[in-house]
Amino acid sequence: MTDNKRVVLASRPNPNVSLDNFRLETAALTPLGDGEVRVRNHYLSLDPYMRGRMSDAKNYAAPQALDAVMIGGTVGDVVESRNPAWTVGDKVVGIGGWQEFTTSAGADMRKIQGTAIPLSAYLGSVGMPGVTAWYGLNRICKVTAGETIVVSAASGAVGSVVGQLAKMKGARVVGIAGGPEKCAYVTETLGFDACVDYKAGALDSDLEAATPKGIDAYFENVGGEATKVVIQRINAFGRIAVCGLISIYDNTAPTAIDFRRVLIQRLTIEGFIVSEHMEVWPEALKELGALVATGKLQFRESIADGLASAPEAFLGLLKGKNFGKQLVKLI
Amino acid sequence: MTDNKRVVLASRPNPNVSLDNFRLETAALTPLGDGEVRVRNHYLSLDPYMRGRMSDAKNYAAPQALDAVMIGGTVGDVVESRNPAWTVGDKVVGIGGWQEFTTSAGADMRKIQGTAIPLSAYLGSVGMPGVTAWYGLNRICKVTAGETIVVSAASGAVGSVVGQLAKMKGARVVGIAGGPEKCAYVTETLGFDACVDYKAGALDSDLEAATPKGIDAYFENVGGEATKVVIQRINAFGRIAVCGLISIYDNTAPTAIDFRRVLIQRLTIEGFIVSEHMEVWPEALKELGALVATGKLQFRESIADGLASAPEAFLGLLKGKNFGKQLVKLI
């Protein structure tokens, strides 16, 4: 245990993300200072929000600094500690970054208790993506029994949780996903009522067929064509939770929507970032943890092998090549 | 008092409203039935919502029936009554329609008490437009002292109230209006901090100059270019109350907005119809009535003379030719 491999941001997207925006480095681990703790990271989470941090455009968060370790959620265990709050062997989830070992004062991480939940799930359904789903569904979409909700990126880390929670509330749940394999997973394993394959080229008519009573709520993860089509089918007092816009992050062209629908249907469209709503995390994590521990919430992971594979896996995530929560297995 | 003049909907806009969509008719007044009351209407209110009712497209309200009297708010006085709740001489505000006399069971009207408020104001600042302003400002825009709010159609019946109420809350208030005369009125008489003349052809840079700290809330009355420009300058957690879209009612082309701003700035965009929020009317009317009675809320009226002039005045309203609340003086 003398070296740490890490991935830093080498340059900014121009305008698309490419492999040469990243640089893999190796640095020697130095002795811990007083109060420090060292974690060996087992899994790194790759998430769409990282795309925003890579640019230096005005955004909701400070941009990722060049030549610094890429931001990212991690799970691991404490391997060395000079901090009385942490003991070797503690399982932790935190913002450890794209690296094998994280050395810190322990402020950005919390201990994982119990064993009924797989460690990696703390980066997915029982972590930030799960709470994101919970917040957008419960605080913005607010679906009730009998209503119809549409969820884009339905097989993904967030969308899969949204749909399953909405089913538990008695809603009709329609996913949008790319390709027949993902759609089959969404309906057969996740239990959505229907799933529209946007790659089939008939999003408009397919969504119409899948939502005979219109759409009461939309959980937006992708943007672009999906937004336009959903707005045309949305019912009075419809709610749109804007969680992600993965299809247009690289695209500066505006989205041409029929804005009159906002008034005619008295819509509420609300963008949110889950890290600004920390007050819901305890309640959400408790509920999500119980559902995963008892097998009531299904999830799927795409696991890339080794830190060196992280940049390519991240590019794949932005293009929808992942299938379920995208992780990188570290050490 | 034997004849009633009225304006009916003769045909639907195709796609623009034109004078031949209306027909002026004269019909004999018949004797009142038991329980009926007859009101002589002094003023008719012309409002943008009427445009929506003229089309039979799916909308939030049932379309105006062909050959029926056009819907519209009125103030007048009771001239004949066979209903014990109403006495000859009562001043009333109601939905009397585009006609000189309204005969009804009295369900759609209420008595006006006191004399400190001009009768016509019950169709403007102390009526539906005023409550519309009050609701959108207090329930959606929620501006606080030091924030910046932009109000389009700022010299109009709704916008003028929004801006004055926002000033009372200590906000920086910036109007958008058409032409130097309206802009001068907005700043000098209504007391807005600034007003941008959209007809000057530099909406983007002029709005930038008028909102040095960005925009925290936007009261949307017009749609189109204003929407696009405001969204580019809106601050984090910005609120957009979509009250009207007068510039695009006849326009089926979509509005190309940078939808990424909804997420990046965590915006809330909310369309509303004040008639669906009757619970706020008593509180709002009480506040607005007190402000008008004590001279703290300024308003201006454009008054067309005689029912026959109503269709042309309505077309002018849709094109922004009115200056302040558009009324028609009846009899």
Q: Do A266 and B273 touch (CB under 8 A)?
A: yes
Decide if A273 touches B, using CB distance below 8 A: yes
Q: Is residue B220 part of a domain?
A: yes
Decide if B231 touches A, using CB distance below 8 A: no
User: Are both B96 and B189 inside the same structural domain?
Assistant: no
For residue B272, give how far its alpha carbon lies from the nearest alpha carbon of chain A (Å): 5
User: How high is the pLDDT of residue B271?
Assistant: 98
Angle at A254 between CA A248 and CA A258, to 5 degrees: 110
Give the residue from chain B lying closest to A243, CA to CA.
Answer: B263
Q: Is residue B104 part of a domain?
A: yes
User: How high is the pLDDT of residue B114?
Assistant: 76
User: How high is the pLDDT of residue A301?
Assistant: 96
Interhelix angle A159-168/A128-135, rounded to 10 degrees, is: 50
Q: What is the CATH number of the domain that holds A55?
A: 3.90.180.10
Decide if B227 touches A, using CB distance below 8 A: yes
Decide if B265 touches A, using CB distance below 8 A: yes
User: Are both B207 and B165 inside the same structural domain?
Assistant: yes
User: How high is the pLDDT of residue A59?
Assistant: 65
Chain B CB contacts of A244 below 8 Å: 263
Buried b (16+ CB within 10 A) or exposed e, A149-175: bbbbbbbbbbbbbbbbbbbebebbbbb
Q: Is residue B253 part of a domain?
A: yes
pLDDT under 70: residue ranges of chain B: 1, 58-60
Residue A81 pairs in a beta bridge with: A37
Total structural domains within chain B? 2
A270 membership: H or E segment, kind and range: strand A268-271
Mean local confidence (pLDDT), A236-243: 97
Residue in B178, B165, B203, B196 with CA at minimum distance from that of residue B317: B178
Q: Do A245 and B259 touch (CB under 8 A)?
A: yes
Give the residue from chain B lying closest to A266, CA to CA.
Answer: B271
User: How high is the pLDDT of residue A282?
Assistant: 95
User: Are both A132 and A243 inside the same structural domain?
Assistant: yes
Q: Do B256 and A256 touch (CB under 8 A)?
A: yes
User: Are both A259 and A160 inside the same structural domain?
Assistant: yes
Residue of B58, B60, B266 lying closest to A266 (CB–CB): B60
- CA–CA dist A31, A151 (Å, integer): 48
Residue of A268, A273, A276 lying closest to B268 (CB–CB): A268
- CA–CA dist A246, A224 (Å, integer): 9
Residue A281 has pLDDT above 60, yes or no: yes
User: Are both B110 and B137 inside the same structural domain?
Assistant: no
* B256 phi-psi bin (left φ>0, alpha ψ -120 to 50, beta other): beta
Q: How many CB pairs under 8 A join A and B?
A: 106
Q: Is residue B292 part of a domain?
A: no
Chain A CB contacts of B272 below 8 Å: 266
The question of ipTM being above 0.85 is answered as: yes
User: Are both A132 and A256 inside the same structural domain?
Assistant: yes
Q: Do B271 and A267 touch (CB under 8 A)?
A: yes
Decide if A245 touches B, using CB distance below 8 A: yes
Q: Do A259 and B60 touch (CB under 8 A)?
A: no
User: How high is the pLDDT of residue B144?
Assistant: 98
User: Are both A116 and A133 inside the same structural domain?
Assistant: no
Q: Do B256 and A260 touch (CB under 8 A)?
A: no
Close Cβ partners of B259 (under 8 Å, ≥ 6 residues apart): A223, A227, A242, A245, A248, A254, A255, A257
**pLDDT tens digit string along B231-284?**
999 999 999 999 999 888 777 788 999 999 999 999 999 999 999 999 999 999
User: Are both A111 and A132 inside the same structural domain?
Assistant: no
CB B255 within 8 A of CB A258: yes
User: Are both B202 and B249 inside the same structural domain?
Assistant: yes
Chain B CB contacts of A56 below 8 Å: none
Q: Do B243 and A259 touch (CB under 8 A)?
A: no
**pLDDT tens digit string along B208-223?**
999 999 999 999 999 9
Q: What is the pTM of this model?
A: 0.93
For residue A208, give how far its alpha carbon lies from the nearest alpha carbon of chain B (Å): 16
Count how many Cα atoms sit within 13 Å of the Cα of residue A82 in the half-sphere of its side chain: 9
Q: What range defines the domain where residue B7 resides?
A: 3-124+299-329
Decide if A267 touches B, using CB distance below 8 A: yes
User: How high is the pLDDT of residue A331?
Assistant: 87
